[in-house]
Structure formats: structure tokens, C-alpha cells
Chain A
Amino acid sequence: MILPIGPIHPGLKEPLRLKLQTQGEKVLKAEIDYGYVHRGIERIMEGKTWQKCIYLAERVCGICSYEHTQTFAETIEKISNVRAPSRAQFLRTITNELDRIQSHLLANSTYFKAMEHETLFMYLLSVREHIMDAIELLTGNRVNMGWNVVGGVRMDAKQVHLDAILEKLKDVEKDLDRYVQIFEQGHLVGLRSKDVGVMTRDEALKGRAVGPIGRASGLKHDLREQHHTYRENFEFKPIWRKEGDNFARTMNRFDEIPQSIDLVRQAINNLPDGDIRTKVEIGSGYVEWRNEAPRGEVVYMAETNGNLIKHISIRTPSIMNIDSCAKYMLKDVATVADAVATYATADPCIACAERVAIIDVDKGETSKDIFDLK
């Protein structure tokens, strides 16, 4: 029997259709339908200046909105052969890590909601509000921050704000230790997540899984290692696990939160003085730039022509993670409830994942050039 879930369903926050092929209560395999939130962002961006595009890049995804602006800004900086001043780079790191913490907390709390453990769901959301306060203190907004510009950041941070953020991080750390223990050692929650939705390392490679989902399956790959700011200024080691089940994915995200807190502390303590923005003369050319978003690798491929953006292509981590979730995790899951929980651990973000590709079924060809531009 085929059990459809979505697009509007109590278990899902975003529109997506999940078709589960079931035999009794057992889920044999799953199929996913996209296409509910395609807005055509890449097409709107063409032929506009970066001042107009950076707002659009921010609205690719609401949860990891910060990383998109940073990647877009760094792409244009790379084309123009400039680098943001070091103070701006440190401020970007602070905001990036704060954004990662709130995203991981939200992802884990969604998982606990999906497996019907409301207590941890509420605990994690209340911790998340501290981080949202810190983000608001620094940038002025909670979700879409408008904080990055090409060549630096928009506003400078004052010492008062940075001290307040350090205070808030102390609160978060104190609470979070207890909540992680509840999950890790609790028989009801921890044991229910072990050996459910297992994805091995080979399957993760085949499904192109990235971010915490890939790292939980043994792919030791974190793009922050290669990023120039992290490589030159911070001590950083990627966190990874071998098991590849729901427990490993959730714990991997939990383990990355103290690491991000540590990175914020390092950045605030070593914050250099100086400018926060340089003047940039936009060059022409083609550049591919990768960054580590909370969900994994995000790639911007941009081609500029003087001041205008000629062509841009955005690849977000969600599409690979959701694909590998449907193909490898949702295979021989014991119950439908476990299948929904497994889907939630893949941290799906549908708004990121909507790209158009036209597939010619007879020839088996895929074309992305739907407007016949080239």
C-alpha cells in the first residue's frame, strides 16, 4: 500500500509529498515529490546588481539565511579579487556560528517533536530563544539579518553587545549539558533512536550526503577546514561519527553546538580593530565558491559582467540530504512513526531545495536552461 504524507500534514512544517510504500506497518521504500515552493530566485537575479541580489540570496532559505548572504558576498569578493577586512571576517564568523547553533537546535527539536517527545522539544526551543536574542542584539533582526554586504559587514559591534553575547552563551551551555544527557542516556529517547534509519558510509557517498548527515555516516568532511578565515585564525576540527543512524545524526548536531560556542568565544576574544568594510570595484568573471552552511555545503556559481550578474546558480545541501534520506534511510524502517522521525533527522529544508530541471524522459536528458538563454 502506498501511504501519502503531505503537502499539508501535522508532521511537516513545509510543503512536500512523501510517498511511503508500506507492507503492514513496515515501510519498504519512499519517494519524494518536490516543486511546491519554486519561486525562480536564480532567474530574478540575472541582470541585476549585487545590491538587489543579496536580499534575494538571503531569502533562499529562512533558517540558514545568514550563510547564503555570506557565500554570495564572498563569491562577488572573489571575482573582484578583494577580501573583507579581518574585523569583518571575525564578525562574520560570530554571526555564522550563532546561526549554526540556532539551526541545529531547531533541527533537533523538530526531531523530538516528530518522535513525540514534547519535553525536550520545549526545552530546546527555550534554549534557542537565548541564541535568537544574541543574534538580534548583534544584527538587529531575528531571521533575515541583512548584515552582510560585499566587502564587509553593515554595522560594527560594540563591546557591550559582545559581552552580553558571552553572558548568554554561558546560560546556553549550562542548560544544554543537561538536555544532551537526557537524550544520550535516556532509555525512552536515546534507545528509540539507535539503529533506526541507518545509512552506511558507502550509501552516504552514493547519495552525496553532506553536512551533519554525511558526517554522522563517517564522511569526515567539513568545508570550514578549508575556509580562509577559519584556517588562519581559529582552532577547528570537524566532528564526525560512524554509526549513521538517527542517534548519531542527532548527537552529531548536539556535539557541534559546544564547538560553535567555542568558536564564537575565540572570535570575540581575539577580535581585531580596524575597518569593517572595504570599497569593492566589481570585476568580471566566473567563480565558484563553497561554504559550510548548518546543513552542509552550499555552492554559489556566479558569472558577472561588470556590475551586473550575468548568470548565477545556487546549490544547497538540502536536496542531496533529502534524496539520500529517501533512497537509503527510509528503507526497511519498522514503523511509519519511525519513518517520519527519520525524515525529520535528515533536517529537510524544502525552501532551499527547489530548483527547476527539465527532464526529457524519452532521451533521458536533463536540461537546466529552461529559457533557452544560451
Chain B
Amino acid sequence: MLNTFKDIVRKSSIHVCLVNCGGCNGCDIEIVALLSPRYDLEQYGIYVHNNPREADVILITGAVTEQWIKKIKRIYSKAPEPKVVACVGNCPLSGDVFNQEGGNVHAPVSDFICVDAEISGCPPRPSEILEAILTVAPGAIASRGREANGKNKKNQVTGGK
């Protein structure tokens, strides 16, 4: 009973944190475009908050630059436990055009943290980003929350600290 109730709550209120770890900010403005009335992210219960401590979904854009190698792990560990990581754009997947001789990037992001969803494109269309969040996030967050609840109740508490 409690689990079903928690599932409903988790599925219908998703907080998103946007982390730009060294891209051209083309993907970031497509995520901002998601807030516009045409795509209306908030009708699905998704709220872009930019605060890792409250995040359920971490959206990562950009190839990882030197400064972000340690920080990306710290941000990941600060997000509370049922969490999903989605990579937006080609940069976090392969480094895109920056991953050449002379470039200062350490792509892919999956070397540093676990990644659940990958959205390719330079940049992907807003509708694709929205589709990816909606396909992966609610189900994954709910099932992970259940797992954590069943195995070890401490997980949820310690995750936030």
C-alpha cells in the first residue's frame, strides 16, 4: 500500500538538475526551450530546479573538461538516492568535435558516473529530450525507490547527505 502510494508520488513529481560540464550551451538552451508554453515541461510534473540536492534526474550536457572531473562525481553523490542520469547531446557520449588532438576534454561521461539514458544529436530537439526523460525517468525512479526501500531503509536517508 505504502509502496504504491510512493510510486505515484515519485512518478508525478520529478525534479531536474541541469549540469553543463563543458559544452557549447546549445543543449542548455534547448532545455530552456522545454520550459516554453509550446513544450510545457511542467504539465508532466517535471520541474527544472538546478539543485543537485533535490534532483531526481540529472541532465548532463557537454564533454567533461579538466575542472569537472572531480566535481561531476561530487554532484552525482550529492543527489538523493532514487536518481536517474540522462546525457543530452553528443558531447557527453563521445566528446563530439572537441574530442580531437589538442582538445581539453575527457569524454565520455560514463567513465565517471553511471548513465541511464543517452540522447544523441547536436543538439537534440526539445521534443526528443522530453521524450527521453518521460520514457526513462518515472519508471526507473519508482522501481529504484522500491528496491532501496526493500533492501535497506538507510539508503534513502544517507543518499541525501
Residues of A within 8 A of B (CB): 7-15, 35-41, 43-44, 46, 55-56, 59-63, 65, 106, 110, 121-122, 125-126, 128-129, 132, 142-144, 349-351
The distance in angstroms between the C-alpha atoms of A60 and B97, with both chains bound, is 11
A39, B98: Cβ atoms under 8 Å? yes
**A-contacting residues, B32-66, CB 8 Å:** 32-33, 35-38, 49-52, 62-63, 65-66
B33, A36: Cβ atoms under 8 Å? no
A122, B51: Cβ atoms under 8 Å? no
The distance in angstroms between the C-alpha atoms of A60 and B123, with both chains bound, is 14
Interface of B is mostly: loop
- Tell me if B75 is interfacial: C-beta within 8 Å of chain A: yes
Indicate whether A122 sits within 8 Å of B36 (C-beta atoms), given known contacts A39-B103, A43-B102. yes
B33, A125: Cβ atoms under 8 Å? yes
Closest chain-B Cβ to A89's Cβ sits at a distance in Å of: 25
Residue of B with least CB distance to A118: B35
- Tell me if B100 is interfacial: C-beta within 8 Å of chain A: yes
Closest chain-B Cβ to A131's Cβ sits at a distance in Å of: 11
Closest chain-B Cβ to A7's Cβ sits at a distance in Å of: 7
Indicate whether A143 sits within 8 Å of B26 (C-beta atoms), given known contacts A8-B17, A12-B50, A125-B35. yes
B22, A106: Cβ atoms under 8 Å? no
B22, A39: Cβ atoms under 8 Å? yes
In the complex, chain B residues whose CB is within 8 Å of the CB of A9: 50
B65, A37: Cβ atoms under 8 Å? yes
A13, B32: Cβ atoms under 8 Å? yes
Task: Please tell me which one of the listed residues A10, A15, A37, A60 contacts residue B51 in the complex, with CB atoms under 8 A apart.
Answer: A10
**A-contacting residues, B5-30, CB 8 Å:** 17-30
A35, B37: Cβ atoms under 8 Å? no
In the complex, chain A residues whose CB is within 8 Å of the CB of B103: 39-40, 43-44
The distance in angstroms between the C-alpha atoms of A20 and B42, with both chains bound, is 32
Closest chain-A Cβ to B20's Cβ sits at a distance in Å of: 5
- Tell me if B152 is interfacial: C-beta within 8 Å of chain A: no
Task: Please tell me which one of the listed residues A8, A125, A350 contacts residue B25 in the complex, with CB atoms under 8 A apart.
Answer: A350
A59, B30: Cβ atoms under 8 Å? no
A61, B24: Cβ atoms under 8 Å? yes
B25, A36: Cβ atoms under 8 Å? no
Closest chain-B Cβ to A260's Cβ sits at a distance in Å of: 18
A128, B104: Cβ atoms under 8 Å? no
Indicate whether A60 sits within 8 Å of B29 (C-beta atoms), given known contacts A9-B50, A12-B50, A126-B38. no
B63, A39: Cβ atoms under 8 Å? yes
Closest chain-B Cβ to A87's Cβ sits at a distance in Å of: 28
The distance in angstroms between the C-alpha atoms of A132 and B38, with both chains bound, is 12
Closest chain-B Cβ to A258's Cβ sits at a distance in Å of: 21
Indicate whether A56 sits within 8 Å of B97 (C-beta atoms), given known contacts A62-B27, A350-B25. yes
Task: Please tell me which one of the listed residues B28, B97, B123, B125 contacts residue A14 in the complex, with CB atoms under 8 A apart.
Answer: B28
Residue of A with least CB distance to B66: A38
In the complex, chain B residues whose CB is within 8 Å of the CB of A11: 50
- 5 example contacts (A-B, Cβ-Cβ < 8 A) are as follows A14-B25, A37-B20, A37-B65, A126-B37, A349-B25
The distance in angstroms between the C-alpha atoms of A349 and B38, with both chains bound, is 25
The distance in angstroms between the C-alpha atoms of A60 and B17, with both chains bound, is 24
The distance in angstroms between the C-alpha atoms of A204 and B78, with both chains bound, is 40
A122, B23: Cβ atoms under 8 Å? no
The distance in angstroms between the C-alpha atoms of A14 and B123, with both chains bound, is 16
